[in-house]
Amino acid sequence: MDHKSSTTQSLYDRIGGETVVKQLVSKFYDRIMKDPELVPFFKNSSMEKLRHMQTEYFRAALDGPLTYAGLSLAKAHQGRGITARHFNLFAQHVLAALKELGVNTEDIDAVIARINLLAGEVTGGPAASD
Ligand code: HEM
């Protein structure tokens, strides 16, 4: 284990900034749309809403506080039947996309840790591992 990681640069900058984030969103989108367990959640969603959601998702993952000014995350997701399993599938797609883009393991772990902090709000229950 080494502890040389920079604490001054944001995760967003470390993984490659806007260029990599754009590639990430596009890869993530492709993966979600091919996942039979996730695609039904979005069948009535507009591209615009989805893009908004994904932008917020990656902001949450990389940049710290959400800038989203609409409904709370809990309200936006309640009653949709999103379970910890769906949440984790989401996270796995992000992980795979980050790997494909060559992001290092340490930064990938940091992204996943950030995202997991929001699990309770999205699923309406405590963060779980399954
Ligand atoms: C940290 C994780 C997540 C964040 C930050 C997030 C963020 C958001 C935001 C900001 C919206 C409102 C979008 C808008 O009205 O423009 C939204 C809506 C939504 N989210 Fe998420 N989300 C997360 C996880 C999930 C998961 C795991 C699922 C399902 C598997 C999901 C399904 C949905 C659906 C179905 C909508 C409604 C879209 C629509 O209005 O058509 N979200 N999300």
Tens of pLDDT, residues 30-70: 899 899 999 999 988 887 888 778 877 777 777 655 666 66
Cα–Cα distance, 20 to 12 (Å, whole number) = 9
Cα–Cα distance, 8 to 91 (Å, whole number) = 25
CB 53 within 8 A of CB 74: no
Query: Nearest residue CA, atom 9 of ligand 1?
Result: 53
For residue 51, how far is its CA from the centre of ligand 1 (angstroms)?
A: 10
Query: What single-letter DSSP state applies at residue 91?
Result: H
Single pTM value for the model: 0.83
Query: What pLDDT was estimated at residue 12?
Result: 84
Residue 74's contacts (CB-CB under 8 Å, 6 or more residues apart) are 121, 122, 124
For residue 118, how far is its CA from the centre of ligand 1 (angstroms)?
A: 11
Helix axes 105-116, 84-100, angle to 10 degrees: 160
1-10, 18-27, 33-42, 116-125: the lowest-pLDDT one: 1-10
Tell me the mean pLDDT in the region 98-118. Answer: 89
Cα–Cα distance, 10 to 99 (Å, whole number) = 19
Tell me the mean pLDDT in the region 92-104. Answer: 91
Query: Nearest residue CA, atom 13 of ligand 1?
Result: 53
Query: What pLDDT was estimated at residue 118?
Result: 85
Q: Architecture of 15-123 per CATH?
A: Orthogonal Bundle (1.10)
